[in-house]
Structure formats: structure tokens, C-alpha cells
A and B are shown apart, each in its own frame.
Chain A
Amino acid sequence: MYLNVRDATKIYGTFTALDRVSIGIDKGEFVCLLGPSGCGKTTLLRLIAGLAELDGGEITLEDANLSQMPARKRGFGIVFQSYSLFPNMTVAENIGYGLKIRGVARTDIAARVAELLDLVKLPQVADKMPGQLSGGQQQRIALARAIAVDPRVLLLDEPLSALDAKVRAELRDEIRQVQRALGIPTLMVTHDQEEALALADKIICMNHGTVVQAGTPEDLYHRPATRFVAEFMGISNLLPPEDIAQLFPDLLPSRRESERAQLACLRPEQIDIASVADGAATIRSISFLGNLRRLQVDTTVGMLTVETHGANPCRVGDRVALTVAPDACTWVIDDTEPRKAVPA
């Protein structure tokens, strides 16, 4: 691994914000830190940036220990959620500031600034003040400022969450393109699973100051390790073995007896549905979501969520039969208190 965090611990008073967290980022890799608000993502990012001090563990970059190194010596780039452009400097001065500190010649700075403005697709704004730009433009400039100095690692703390949905999607793709083009190892914090799925080579899912699971987006979506990950990474039907035995007895053999409390995780699109006159289940509601339909289906063990693509003749009240392919089920550890709220 290029950047390594081993057993990072951070304690605020009596509250443990991070509890022995270990993560790694490879060269050129785009890693997302995903988790609910307050789980310690920002804290971890700030430790890596050198903006906060470790209470335990260590951070190394290419095997050099960073613990004693102040933020300004690390050569990392950082983009914050709130616009953090220097309000007293023009856009060009903002982007060139890191180079100016490094004593780069003026003409070289100007050339580099122009290049970066092209890269973030804002070639016209060099002489504007930050206050004259929209939120999305400001974040692009903040990104350009962070990568101007060829950072060894790029750190992004929810850079998109203050933006409108449309701007967010645009900028999300651009961040990905820029990161691919430059190959900068990147760590991005987000609480939006869709964003993480779309961007990351690797997702690190956190909860309560610990890492719950790390892996590729597919891993986390299709093979969640715990109930928390399954619920956080989208909609899922989580059923105890008794219910599975009733509904889909074929799935039971895939469960390993040895492990503690387990639930079967069935994603809504993995359940196949067919109208059958004497079906054991009944459709209770249908929401039309454009590319798919989400059905609430009443079964002998309670409601299940099912999604179907394309034309579908089902109506509310129809009796249906449900089937699941034997390999579509993942058994997850139940690590959270049962929740009443249905995931959005």
C-alpha cells in the first residue's frame, strides 16, 4: 500500500471518535470513506491530512512515518465541504498559492494556473473573486488549487454535499476524470452511498468510529458482511433463517452454521416475481420510479421489497409467486439493533 493507516485512534475527552482504524490506499487508487454522519470519517481524513493529532496508531506514506510531520510539510491536497477559497485572492491567485509558497517563478505559475483552469473546465474565470462564482465553480477551483502542487495524496471531505443534485452529478464525474487522468491517490469522504458506488475503486464503510467492511463497490453491494453495510448500501430484504426456510428453502444450504446471528440479505432486484393465480404472496403497492418499479409484496413472513425492470403487467392486489436464484443470497452478521424505519 502507498498510504497506510494502522490502528488510528482519536479520543475527544471521553468520546472515542476513532477506534483502531486501519486502512490503505494504493497508488492511483480512488478510495471512498463511507458512513453515516458522525461516524468519524472527517476525523480520519483530518488525521491523515495532519490537521489533527493521533492518539494512537500510525500513518505511513511509502513506509515513512508521518506522525511528526505538520500538515504543511505533507504535500497533500485537500478540498473541504464548505467553500474554502481565500476570499481576498482572485481565482488565479488561489490556484497559484501553493506554488507561490514553493517559490515557483511567476510565469510558470501563470502557465500552470491556465492549464488547471482548462482541466476543471473554467478557463474564463482567472481574474474573478471567489464570491462571484457559483458553488459548483468554487468547488472546481478548490479542486484545482488542491492539485496544483501535484499532491502526493488528494483528500476530499464531502466536496459535493453542499451542491444541487445536478451540479453534484456533473462535478462527481469530473472529479473522477481528473483523478483518472492524473493518477493521484485519492481519499474521499462521503455519506452518500450512490456517490461512493459511482466513484470508488474501493469503499471503506465505517460506523461508530470503526471500519465495518472494505472492498470494491460490487463487494459491498452484493456481498455485504454485516446488516449495517447491507442496509447502508441500498435497499435490502433481511430475513432470519426461519423465514428463509418458509419462503426460499433452497437458500438455506449456503448458510454457515458456525457464525453468530445471521440474516439473509436479498436485494430487491434479485427477487423474481411472477403472476400466478394461486401465488402465496400479494402485491400491496407499486411505486413507479421511471427505469424501475418498486413493489411491496405481502408474504407469509411479512413485507418484502421487490424491484422489476421494463414492462410489467402486475397490479396492486395481484397474487404472485417469488423466486430467488440460489447464489443471489448473502448471509450477513446482524450487527445492529433491529430498525423500524424502512431505508429510503
Chain B
Amino acid sequence: MNASETIQQRARHQRLDADRLLTAACVGLPLLGLILFFAYPMIIVFLRSITVGDSYGIGNYVEVLGSSGFWRATRHSLVMGGATTLVSVFLGFIIAHGLYRCAFRGKWLIRAIIVLPLLAPSLVQALGLIFLLGRNGVISRALGVEIEIYGFWGLLIANTLYALPQAVMIIGAALVLLDARTYEAADVMGASPWRQFRDLTLPSARFGILNAGFVCFIITITDFGNAAVIGGDYSVLATEIYSQVVGQRNFNMGAVVGIMLLLPTVIAYAIERQAMKRQQAGQTTGQVPYRPVFAPPRDLCMAALSLLICACIVAVIGIVVYASFVTLWPYNMSLSIKHYDITLAGGYSSLWMTILISLGAAVGGTIAVFLLGLGLRRLPHVLAQPVQILAAMPAAVPGMVLGLAYILTFNSTSTPLYLLYGTAALIGIVNFYHYHTQGFLTVMTGFRQLPPALEEAAGSLGAGLGRTACDIVAPFIAPMLVSVFFFLFMRSMVTLSAVVFLTTPQLSVAAVTIMRLDDAGLTSQAAAFSTCVMAVVCGAVLSMKVILAMMQRRRAE
């Protein structure tokens, strides 16, 4: 071997190491983030829950388990979760069945309306219900009856509206899996439409329904916004944590309640993941999409029901927008824009700050999950699997618990992480890790669709990891990246539960401002602020649709 060859060989080793290093960095940095901003705070919150004075013990648990308030909140959470799940899965199935198994016009309208609740902070449903059914609500006044909307029923309706989009999406995804050939075969064999529904549609949606049920349950018991605005005396675990921490400044007890809230969500999440796997296992390729033919009794009935449900959603959200323009609800119903002049300290600054934070969380988060997915592909299975499990865990943690964990971790001067406390960056970070799982799973779906041959071909042509990532991988999964970006942006815009503990008088976010306005009795201004947030999020949704459509057009070209 001559000298030049030796040098070449050494260069090769270095390049090889460069790629290995890059892989390590791709996995290592996001992993470090997960450990620092998810695993570590969760450990802290657990430790705090067993901290009694200066030592550890189960004293806090004994105290909490012995208090009637806790048991009442737990009972309420479970009852509310169960009731909401039943109602929203039932209604969700009706809409999904209408959308994917019936033939009628105007489905786009239903599709558009059904996602509206996702575009607003959860407390907007509650605000809308108060404007409709509260003491001064349009319906109560028109009927001349006094409806007690604060409490169980109001919360049930608000939560149902909030969980419904998820139920429709999950059940719809399960329904489309059953392809046209199956129905054609049943037709040929002489099965009546009712039999087809009972023997084909329902069983195939079984896991979807189960899955949707668990998702709705988790959404409901972890939601804070609706409970805070319309729950009234109906205390649930999420509001219980809030009152322990913010009302009584009792962090350890808050941590205990947080851990108790974590238990049902973790269990529900674990079951849901199993149901999801079973559903995916049934998937086959080469499907022929089902095209329903118009069957008047069935379709008119389903269309009417779907429209009725959609009308409720539009009414609840629309009344908030309308109320924001009413001069003095309910006495002077003439229109004005005076409520858009926010009188609470800070005015609109929290809106701009939220947009900034959401952009940061979306950009940083998209890059992080992309790098993680890229690196995991190159890691041996034994190393990749634990990372994947960790990356899928944040979905099981209620926002309230994560927020509490953050305040316990970052408001302590014992580590340099204290520097982050009270900064916008920390709010962006908590938003990203709150929704980490959904973003990560979306990107992983994209990576699974990427044929290994593409990367191998690029490698054989001489491209290193960095080049392959930029030239081949990123363009291929670009639609997923765009989806993740907008998902993180939109969730960050409207989320309340995780950030409610992390805002300070100087630094607030939109959802918290809405809650404060409502608390201060400035309900119309809360409506105005909500309308602004919804406008921003709707703008984001439209941009996403346009971008994705353009990408699809380019690829199909």
C-alpha cells in the first residue's frame, strides 16, 4: 500500500466516523431533550409527591386519599370521562358513518365544521355554552327558562364538543380500511344493507371505536379549560390540581393529585396503543375505496343527524364570535368592536407572544422529531426501541401534570435549568413535549413509507448522511413535516393545561389571557380575544391545506 492510498484510507475512516457521529447527534440531541424536558421533570414530580417535610414518605398520599374532596373530584373525573366518551363516540360514529359509508352532498361542510373545536382553546366551548344557555344566554332568554349550565351538564356538552373531532377522525380512519370489494362480495351473496352494516361495517370499526373511546376519555379527564370555565362546583382532578397549586400553593399535594390523574390516563393510553396495533395489523394493501350509492332513507337520515350535530358546533363557536361584537350583552345587542380593545394589563401582547412561541415550538419541534426519526432508522433495533418507547410516552401525561412538573423542576434554583424559568423558551418547550408523541408518530409514519432502497441508492452514489437527509429524505417526507409543523403550531396556540402554571404576570399566553378575562367578568373581551386566536389558527389551517395541496400537485405532475 503506497502513501497516497494510506491517506485515502485514513480519510475514509474519518468520513465513516463523521457519519456515525452525525447519526449519534441525530438521536442524541432529541434524546437529551426528551430526558431533560420530559423524563427528568416527571421524576421530579413523582419525588415531590412523596416528599414530606425534608424526607420521603407516603404521608401526602395518605392525606390526599383520606380527603373527601379528592374522592369527589376523582369520581367526577371518571363519571365525566365516561359520559363524555359514550356521547362523543356515539355522535362521532354517526358522523363518520355518514362521511365514509353514506352518499350525500355537502360532506366538505361537515368535514370543515367538525374540526372547528380543535381550532380554539378548549374553554371556547364553555364560553359559547354560557352565551347560549347561561343566565343571560340567547336560548334561556328566548325560552324564558333558567338553565343551570354551570356543572355537570354544561361540562358534559363542552367536553363532548371538544372530543368529537377526535372521535370522528379515528372512527373514520377505521371505516375506510374496509374496502369496496368486501361490500361487493356481500352484495353478491345477498346480504341486505342492514346485515352489511351489522356484519361488516360495525366489526371493522370495532377497534376504531375502542380507540376513539380511550382517546376521548383521556382528552376529557385531562382537559382543564372547559372545567375551569363551566365546571362550577363540579370539581374534577384537573381543577383540583390547579386549586392545590395556585390556590393553596401546596405543590406536594398538587403533585400527588397529578400522579393520581396520571394513573387512569396511562392505563387508557396503554390500552389504546394496543387497540391501534390490532387495527393496523388488519390493514392490507391494494385497496379499492368504497363508493357508497345513494340510499334515500339511510342517507337522508344520516345527513340530517350529521347536520344537526354540526349546527350545534357552529352555534356554540359562532355565538362566541357574535358575542364579541355585541355592545353590551344582553342589554344592548347592537354591534360594535369595542370589546376588541382589551383592557386587561398587557392587552394583545400575549397574543403576539403566543404566535412567537408557537412558531418556535413548531420549528424546533419539527426539526427535533425529523432528526430523531432519521437517526433511529440507522440504529440497531435494540437501541432504537427504548428511544421509541420514550418518545411515545408524553401522550400519556396530562398537560396539567407536565406543567406542574415543569414548575417544580425549573422553578428550583438547584440546577442551571433555573435560567429557563419564566422565559418564553420554556413555554415553547413544554408545548413541544406536551405534543411530542403525536408529532413523532406522524414523522415515523412518513419514514415507514420511505423505501430503504432510496437511501441505499443515494449512499451508493456517494451521498453521506447529511446529503441524503437533505436531498432525499426531507423532500420525501415533506408532507409529514408540514403536518407536524402546523400541528405543533396550532396546539401551541390554543393549549392551556400545560402552560397555565408557567405564565407569569410579565409573560402570558393567549389561552391564559382568555381565562383571566373570563375570571375578571370581562366575558365579551374573552370572546373577542378567542376570536382573534381562532382567526390566527384558521389562517394556519388554510396555509397548511394550500401547502399540502401544492406539494401533492407537484408530485403528481
Q: Is there contact, CB below 8 Å, between A131 and B461?
A: no
428-474 of chain B: CB within 8 A of chain A: 451, 453-454, 456-464, 467, 471-472
A50 vs B457: C-alpha distance when bound (angstroms): 11
Query: Which residues in B have some Cβ–Cβ distance to A below 8 Å?
Result: 1, 5, 9, 12-13, 15-16, 19, 451, 453-454, 456-464, 467, 471-472, 475-476, 478, 555-557
Q: Is there contact, CB below 8 Å, between B451 and A51?
A: no
Q: Would A73 and B15 be within 8 Å (CB), given that A49-B460, A129-B555 are in contact?
A: yes
A83-91, A258-266, A275-283, A327-335: which lies at the interface: A83-91
A64-72, A109-117, A166-174, A246-254: which lies at the interface: A64-72
Q: Is there contact, CB below 8 Å, between A86 and B464?
A: no
A328 vs B556: C-alpha distance when bound (angstroms): 58
In chain A, what residue has the closest Cβ to B456?
A51
Q: Is there contact, CB below 8 Å, between B456 and A71?
A: yes
5 CB contacts below 8 A, A to B, read A51-B459, A70-B459, A78-B457, A78-B460, A131-B557
Q: Would A72 and B462 be within 8 Å (CB), given that A86-B454, A86-B471, A88-B476 are in contact?
A: yes
- A98 interface residue per 8 A CB criterion: yes
- Over the window 189-207 of chain A, the binary record of Cβ atoms lying under 8 Å from chain B Cβ atoms (1 yes, 0 no) is 0000000000000000000
Q: Would A87 and B555 be within 8 Å (CB), given that A64-B5, A69-B12, A80-B453 are in contact?
A: yes
Query: Which residues in A have some Cβ–Cβ distance to B below 8 Å?
Result: 49-51, 64, 68-78, 80, 82, 84, 86-89, 97-98, 101-102, 129, 131-132, 142, 145-146, 149
Residues of B within 8 A of A84 (CB): 451, 453-454, 456-457
Q: Would A72 and B463 be within 8 Å (CB), given that A64-B5, A86-B471 are in contact?
A: yes
Q: Is there contact, CB below 8 Å, between B475 and A88?
A: yes
A284 vs B453: C-alpha distance when bound (angstroms): 50
Q: Is there contact, CB below 8 Å, between B16 and A97?
A: no
Tell me the interface secondary structure of chain B in the complex: helix
Residues of A within 8 A of B464 (CB): 72
Q: Is there contact, CB below 8 Å, between A71 and B459?
A: yes
Residues of A within 8 A of B476 (CB): 86-88
Q: Is there contact, CB below 8 Å, between B472 and A86?
A: yes
Residues of A within 8 A of B453 (CB): 80, 82, 84
Rounded to whole Å, the gap between the CB of B339 and the closest CB of chain A is: 48
Q: Would A71 and B471 be within 8 Å (CB), given that A84-B451, A87-B476 are in contact?
A: no
Q: Would A145 and B461 be within 8 Å (CB), given that A69-B12, A80-B453 are in contact?
A: yes
A98 vs B471: C-alpha distance when bound (angstroms): 12
* Residue in contact with B458 in the complex, picked from A69, A70, A87, A97, CB distance below 8 Å: A97
In chain B, what residue has the closest Cβ to A49?
B460
Q: Is there contact, CB below 8 Å, between B19 and A70?
A: yes
Q: Would A97 and B555 be within 8 Å (CB), given that A80-B456, A82-B453, A86-B471 are in contact?
A: no
Which 5 A/B pairs are nearest by Cβ-Cβ distance? A88-B475, A84-B453, A98-B461, A80-B453, A71-B459
* Residue in contact with B12 in the complex, picked from A73, A86, A97, CB distance below 8 Å: A73
Residues of B within 8 A of A101 (CB): 461-463, 467
A102 vs B450: C-alpha distance when bound (angstroms): 25
Rounded to whole Å, the gap between the CB of A42 and the closest CB of chain B is: 11
Rounded to whole Å, the gap between the CB of B37 and the closest CB of chain A is: 33
Rounded to whole Å, the gap between the CB of A88 and the closest CB of chain B is: 4
A150 vs B359: C-alpha distance when bound (angstroms): 46
Q: Would A82 and B475 be within 8 Å (CB), given that A49-B460, A101-B461, A145-B461 are in contact?
A: no
Q: Is there contact, CB below 8 Å, between B460 and A76?
A: yes
Rounded to whole Å, the gap between the CB of B478 and the closest CB of chain A is: 8
Q: Is there contact, CB below 8 Å, between A132 and B458?
A: no
In chain A, what residue has the closest Cβ to B453?
A84
Known: A73-B16, A98-B461. 8 other contacts (CB 8 A): A50-B460, A51-B456, A68-B16, A72-B460, A73-B12, A73-B15, A80-B457, A97-B458
